[in-house]
Structure formats: C-alpha cells, structure tokens
Structure 1
C-alpha cells in the first residue's frame, strides 16, 4: 500500500497535520517514537481551552480522536531513514518495516542540548525552564535567573522582568552600554561571576552557586538550550537548514514545503514556538500537503 502521506512525529504538529488530512479522507500513516520534546514538563500552559493540562494527557486525547478516522494508521516506531522513489518516498523504521508514501511530512521536532552545568539536567522542565509564556506564571514571582551567554540573553532578560526579579548571569558574555542601560531600566541585575552549579532539593531549585563562592537565591532559572534536529531524516533527504539564534531550523516556504519537493516540515523543527504554534503550523502543513495531492490527482493521466 502507498499512503497519501506519511507523517514522522506524532506530537502537536504531526497530530494537527494528520487531522487535516484525515478529514480530507486521505490515507495517513503516523510514525511516532513516543518522545515528545515537552515530556519533562508536568503541565502545559497557554493552550486555549486546556490551560494546565498535562502534556501527555493532551497528546493521548488528540491521538484517540485522530484514530477515530478510518483512513489513519499509527505505528509506535522510529523512522531511521527515507529515500526518494519514483512514486514518492520510502520510509524505513527501526522495527524493520518500509512504508511507501506519495508525500512526506517531518514533524520530528528538535533535541535540546542543555548546558553542561551540575544540577541543571535533573531540574529541566521543573525549576529550570525554557519558556516564560509556558511556565513563568506558575513560578509565582520572586527571584528568577537567566543563564546568559547567547545572542538572545539581553533581550530575554528584559522580557523576563514581567515574571519576577531577574538576575542575568552573563556567563562570560560582554554587554554593550545601551543593553546594560535597558536592563537597568527593567530592574534586571547583571551578575558577572559564572554559575558553576545549581542547588536545592531537585527538581526544585533554591540557589545558583557562583565561581567566587557566593550563592544567589533563585526560585527558577531560565535557559535557552541549543537546538539540534530531532531526526536524521531532515539531513538525509537533503533539506536545507537555516541558522537561528538557538540552533538550526528546517527551511520551509509559505506552504511548509522544504527545499526537497514533496517533503514538508512543521513544528519545532521549522519554527521557534510552543504547543499552539506547533499545532497551527501542523494545520498549515496538512492543508498545503492536501492541496498538492489534489493538484497531482487533477493532472494525472
């Protein structure tokens, strides 16, 4: 059997794209390894109508609703490679299966490369956070920190000031005078001594230990992790990548098609975002992919 679309990745973007295609009565296969990016967070916030729902529960409900459509098939496996064929694409999985498809949608997300800082990884998603819009409100104000050292640090520190009393840990970066003045106007404290460890009863955070021996009390620490592609398929297929302030993203056009014809991408792999943005991009990709199928069907001999 050749599917109209194979979607690699069954998280928010992949599920949203699959729903659009299923509602168009197209045959869809979703291949999912069961490792969503936000699995470290207990709750998902800022999701309209579902604020505070557990990420796993949200995906469970969405998957159940999707599988009510008879044209959808789901396999729990890892897509290991894909090749262009005469009729579309062949996708191979770790389980030894090969799946043929006319179109391919990569909703494979990204992998966060966390800073190598003692005490950080065990707090990731709990008191060490990446998105204030997702988790900042629940911190509840008070002393919060931002681990600097990247291009977005100065801007992000100013934004974070709406969620608490911010300390920007420069981590060796040099700030321009105008950036310092802006941060001071926002009430941001700048700390030049490097953070060498995080302390507290994990997964909670109580303080950052500095290189000079001081401790800075903190309720939470925000970190912008370096992002890498969540799957080798993107580069195997030759999809072009673009650099962003936090890592690489798949280059897509307005229809969410990559530089490889017939290959689409949506979600965190193609846009810096959150659950809502990933879902919206999945809808866009699914609709665009469906339009491409219709165009092909309309011109087929």
Structure 2
C-alpha cells in the first residue's frame, strides 16, 4: 500500500513530523535504523520540558505518543535508494523491498568524523563534546579545552569561559591573530601551542590531556567541532541541493523545510547548519505541516521534479 508520507529517520525531527501528519489522519511510514547521532550522549539538555532526560527516553516517549494514532507505522528498516515515480516516490530498502509514498520527509541526520587522537573516541559524548549549551553546565566550571581543527575553534574558545577556565589548543592547525589572542585573554582564555598527544583518565571521564612535551593539563571536558556529513546519500540521489555549513554540507531548505525537489522535505541536523535537539523537533513540525499542505494544494506534484 502506498503511503501518504514516508519519513526516513525516526529521531526528534522525524517523529515530530509524523505527529503533525498523524493528527491529520494521514498514512505515515517511519523508517528508522535506531542509530541516531545523539546515541553517545547519556542526557539531553536545553530541550524544553525534557531537560536532563536521555535521548532514548525522549524518543521512547515520542514513539509512545505516536502509537495512539492508527495511521502511523514505524519500521526498523534502512532506506538505500529513493527516486521520483509518477505522482510520488519509490524507496528501496536494504532487504530488497520497494515502498511507495506521495511525499518524502528526510530526517536521517548526519554522521560525525572525529580527529584521530588516542583516547578521544571512547570519550565522545561524555567528556569530549561539541556543544557547550548541551553539556557545559554539568562540567561545574571546571577547566575545559578546545581542540582546534580550523578557525571555528576560536568561536568555541570565546564562548566557553562562561562554563569554565578555557584553554585553546591550536594543534599546529590554527594560529590565532594577536587581536584574537587579546580578545580571548579578556575572556580569561589562554592559548596553548604545544599539541595534545593523548587524553588522560578512566574513559569516558577526562582528567587531563597530555602534551607533546610531556606536560599534562587538567581538564574536565574537551570541546571539538567535528566534521559532519549526511548519514545517507538519499538526498543526493533525489537531486536535493546542498549548502556548505561550518562543519560540513547540509540539505538546502526553505522556510517550510521544503528541499529543492518538489514533494521532498528535510528536517533536523541534515537540513541545518546548527545542530540542536529543540530546533530539530521544531523543523520536524514545519516539515510535517508542509508535507500535509503539499498533499492538498499540489496533489499531483505539478511542478517539475
């Protein structure tokens, strides 16, 4: 049976989109691989009404709410291909099955590429972090560091003194200007030119970082800006336009979360230069409503694909 809307990705954005469509009594199929980007984090912070809950608990609550709507299905399946067919779309699954839908909402998120550094990966999401608004408060104003990968490190270093004494580790990759050094110093931050060679302490906690000259610098948290990329090639297969963000490419959308391909919408980290749980859920609400209106006002996708 063809669905009104197929949603690819079942985390905050995809589930929020499904809720809008469910309440319009539309047939919705959510495809989810249960590998969200936030699976490494024990808690989610800054999400109104859910502060301090685990991402799994938030997702479970959203799924429970959706279970009250008879027109919504959730399948643990991987979408491997998608294309336009007639007045809608066909999606291929990893088991060889094909399903069809009149609209698509892409909400499969992004994947992170982390720099190589001994001890870093096993601390990702716990004491090696990317967002001070999400995780900084819990560090209790203890010393924190920024691991430079590019000029974004300066932006992070300027923010972080509100959460703890901050050291910017340039790693020989980024060289702050004299003006930048002075500005950071006014915030109480310092610059360390000797590169980090390893992380110290029982993972996933962090006690210090070890430098190339043998020194150890006490830290409770190390912040990085990971490189990101869409976790699936489906957007590219469909011909959706991309934009370059500060950490990597993301799908271009308009104010309703519509992509450049008629009938295809995108929400969450996949379609934003600023990853954030609350923004992902809000974008899902927009995408779900826009997909519903598209079904009503452009039922045959008359615009060229």
- Mapped to 2, the partners of 1:95 and 1:140 lie a distance apart of 47
Shift of residue 297, structure 1, vs aligned partner: 4.3
* CA contact 1:9–1:32 (8 Å) conserved in 2: yes
Cα 1:297–1:168 shift into 2, 3 Å: same
Unaligned runs of 5+ in 2: none
* 3-state DSSP of counterpart to 2:271: coil
Name the counterpart of 2:94: 94
- Partner deviation per Cα, 1:141-160 (whole Å, 9 max, x = no partner): 11110111323111111111
Name the counterpart of 1:279: 281
Name the counterpart of 1:112: 112
Alignment of 1:189-268 (within 5 A): 189-268=190-269
- Mapped to 2, the partners of 1:196 and 1:4 lie a distance apart of 52
* CA contact 1:252–1:258 (8 Å) conserved in 2: yes
Taking structure 1 as the reference length, what is the TM-score of the superposition? 0.97
Shift of residue 299, structure 1, vs aligned partner: 10
- Mapped to 2, the partners of 1:133 and 1:242 lie a distance apart of 24
* 3-state DSSP of counterpart to 1:161: helix
* CA contact 1:151–1:245 (8 Å) conserved in 2: no
May I ask how many residue pairs the two structures share in their alignment? 300
Unaligned runs of 5+ in 1: none
- Mapped to 1, the partners of 2:144 and 2:293 lie a distance apart of 47
* CA contact 2:19–2:66 (8 Å) conserved in 1: yes
- Mapped to 2, the partners of 1:150 and 1:63 lie a distance apart of 39
Q: Which of 284, 291, 294 is residue 293 of structure 2 equivalent to?
A: 291
Shift of residue 196, structure 1, vs aligned partner: 1.3
* 3-state DSSP of counterpart to 2:144: strand
* 3-state DSSP of counterpart to 1:101: strand
Shift of residue 237, structure 1, vs aligned partner: 1.3
- Mapped to 2, the partners of 1:23 and 1:95 lie a distance apart of 30
* 3-state DSSP of counterpart to 2:16: helix
- Mapped to 1, the partners of 2:158 and 2:301 lie a distance apart of 54
- Partner deviation per Cα, 1:8-50 (whole Å, 9 max, x = no partner): 0000000000000111111100000001110101111111122
* CA contact 1:265–1:285 (8 Å) conserved in 2: yes
Considering only aligned residues, what root-mean-square deviation do their CA atoms show, in Å?
1.4
Match status 1:84 vs 2:101: no
Taking structure 2 as the reference length, what is the TM-score of the superposition? 0.96
